[in-house]
Structure 1
């Protein structure tokens, strides 16, 4: 009887075809309709479904901090507890293959967690506390504030051969493109929402205090500065919390 792994190795083109269909599905979504987290969940789940050597998958996001401060690591889109535990151990040790992948812009392969000279303390803990025996980490994205890696885990020693790595890299490349689009869509929706809420707040001030649009915006900006509150947050308060009381800061600002 042919095992799933041998069948996979014999016909990698079918996996590429399925990845291509997945890519068309993700890339074909309307702008702003897919969140970055949705993309990551689709990719990690697909990695487990499409690549038989992959038993668990997840993504590591590293948020940059100011100089001399430790980077903040979070585990997202995990297919189960194993990726989350692995990231927790990485965070505890302050280093590991996912950090290496995101910082050095490369793919990191660990063939045997029980016999890995890099990060010996971490790998010893991983071998003791998880079923993970081999790991493949691939950089996904780099922004001014965040870096991300796709992490694939196998419960088999030497679980990832060159063919698996090539296909996983293809999946990660499509994921990176989809993530970029999802992030742009998210930023666009956020910008539109901010513009709309500020517009609503301006309209309320114009009606209540009989001022024009420019003066209404000046009032919001002045209140934002005086209260050290972001303009969009202040506008949200004006619109949804409660009407400004007569004689309050807004009325004083019109004088």
Structure 2
């Protein structure tokens, strides 16, 4: 609505998404929301997808574009690539300039030929021999910033819960609680909207995507609004 205060728009949109989100209960739709949210809110991201690693093969899940599934298939064929190495070495991989990267020459050449300029890959979980990753791609070199890493890590933590099941909820709670403002906002939503911790975090991601406001800024707004309400007569 023209002239409406941004905070009022955010509050109204948050309420709308809370209602819509009640129907998103299965893992597949949650993963889809994570991927869509990654493209919408992670600075620099143009394409995204969840990868599952089974032994030496990579399975693409909920890719935002066929290009993502194709790149996963290439890593399986080559038995080499940033996603595989990131997961096996238990760390985040950033390729700032795909054309200048020398670690995975066959993969990077294929990616450049398909218009990919940079990549950011996060490990999701490790369970026996099954591994998962959240992969973000950009069409230009140097697309991902420190802020991209922070937001991507939050999305990856949530995706871990959806992929690994309820047993990973404690891991997510611990990781998110370490980011104090987001942990507080999650608790407020859990109480106010009658949501689980996992659903409360996804609600913030969905709202971020819909409003183009960063997750951490939404969390800060929620906490400020809550604290202001405590002092009202």
TM interval, short-chain normalised: 0.5 to 0.7
Match of 2:82 in 1: 97
Structure number with larger C-alpha Rg: 1
After TM superposition, the structure 1 = structure 2 runs for residues 120-135 of structure 1, keeping only pairs within 5 Å, are 120-128=105-113, 130-135=114-119
2:152 aligned residue (152, 157, 168): 168
Deviations 1:157-182 (A, max 9, x none): 11101111111111111222343346
Q: TM-score, normalised by structure 2?
A: 0.59
Is 2:47 aligned against 1:56?
yes
Which ranges of 4 or more aligned residues in structure 1 deviate by more than 2 Å? Answer: 33-39, 177-184
- Is contact 2:98-2:108 (8 Å) kept? yes
- Unaligned segments of structure 2, at least 5 residues: 1-6, 169-233
Higher RCO structure (Cα 8 Å, ≥6 apart): 2
Is 2:30 aligned against 1:39?
yes
- Is contact 2:53-2:132 (8 Å) kept? yes
Q: Supply the distance in 1 between the matched residues of 2:83 and 2:29 (Cα, whole angstroms).
A: 21
Match of 2:163 in 1: 179
- Unaligned segments of structure 1, at least 5 residues: 1-13, 65-70, 185-255
Match of 1:10 in 2: none
Q: TM-score, normalised by structure 1?
A: 0.54
Number of aligned residue pairs: 154
- Is contact 1:34-1:182 (8 Å) kept? no
Is 2:122 aligned against 1:138?
yes
